[in-house]
Structure formats: C-alpha cells, structure tokens
Structure 1
C-alpha cells in the first residue's frame, strides 16, 4: 500500500513491522483500502495505543519483546522526534520504558502517515 510509504520513518527497518500491524488492523474497517487506513489512523489518534486497540502492544511482555527486537530503530525514532520538538518526551503514564517506546513510536509513525496522506 503506497500510503504506508508516506512516512519520514520509512527508512527504519521497524517500518516493516509497523506496516504489518497497520495492514492487519485496517481489515476490520469498512470501505476501500485507503478509507480503511484513514479510519484506523483517526481511531488511533483519538484513543492511542493505551486504549488497547493495538493488540500487539497491550501486554508489557509483548512490548518488551518488540522493543528488544527493534531497540535501535525505536530509540532513533524517539531521538529524531525529540530533536524536532527541541525537548524530551515525558513518559506521562509511567509505563515501562519498552511499552512507552512502542506506543510512542507506533503512534508517531502512524501520525506521519496520516498527516502526509490525509492532511492536505
């Protein structure tokens, strides 16, 4: 799906895993593929990973395994984001670091797709 290439983070290997998660979740939405993607991304923006809508990131153990597998990419995405913001990003929910990183990076990844594809 071409829309998934519209993220500044597409060069990171973790993008393959993120895209697989996105493609798995959009199937529960109605409409053509692009409409399904838009609806999914809007739901994620409203509820975030903390809502439990991303089954891969509900349990801390799953987040820990994902974080370990993609540690360098996730830390680099966070660093890129903090550099762009000019300040550190706080772990507001006091989640374990690996859960915070999965949620933060997945949400940011999805946000960049949404803003590139649908915020025109």
Structure 2
C-alpha cells in the first residue's frame, strides 16, 4: 500500500509487521482501501492501543513476545522519537516496559502514516 511507503519509520524491520497488523484490522471498515485505512487510523488516534482495539497488543504476554522479537527496532524507534521531540517519553500508565513500547511505537507509526497521507 502506498501509504506505508510515506512513513518516516519504514526503515525499521518492525514496520512490515505493523503493516500486517494494520491491514488485518482495516478489513472490518467500510469503503475503499484508503477510506478503511483513514477510519482505522482515526479510531486508533481516538482510542489508542489501551482500548484493546489492537488484538495483537491486548495481553502483556503478547506484547512481551512481540517486544523480544523486535527489541532493537522498538528501542531505536523510541530513541529516535525522543530525540525528535527533544525530551523523554514518560510511561504515564506505569505499564510493563514491553507493553509501553509496543503501544508507543505502533501508535506513532500509525499516526505518522496518517499525518503523511491524510493531513
């Protein structure tokens, strides 16, 4: 999908798995592929991973397995994001680190695609 190529984070290997997750969740939305993608991103921006809308990231054990598999990418992603913001990103919900990073990176990846595609 063209929109995925617009992400500043596409260089990370984890982005391929994020793309698969996104595509699996957009199928339940109505409209064209682009409309489905936009609706999914808007729901995610409104509710976030904390809402449970991303089944791959509901349980801490699933997040932990995903984090271990993509540890270097997720940590580098967070570091790059903090560097661009100029400040550390707080784990304000006091989540396990692996859940926090899965949610943070996935949400930022999706927001970046949304911003570059629909704004």
TM-score, reference length from structure 1: 0.98
C-alpha distance in structure 1 between counterparts of 2:107 and 2:34, whole Å: 18
Instruction: Show structure 2 runs of 5+ residues with no match.
Output: none
Counterpart CA distance in 1 for 2:29 and 2:4 is: 17
Q: Aligned residues, how many? A: 119
For residues 17-65 of structure 1, give each alpha carbon's deviation from its aligned partner in whole angstroms, at most 9, with x where no partner exists.
0000000000000000000000000000000000000000000000000
What is the alpha-carbon root mean square deviation over aligned residues? 0.4
Gaps of 5+ in 1: none
TM-score, structure 2 as length reference = 0.99
Runs of 4+ in 1 over 3 A off after TM superposition: none
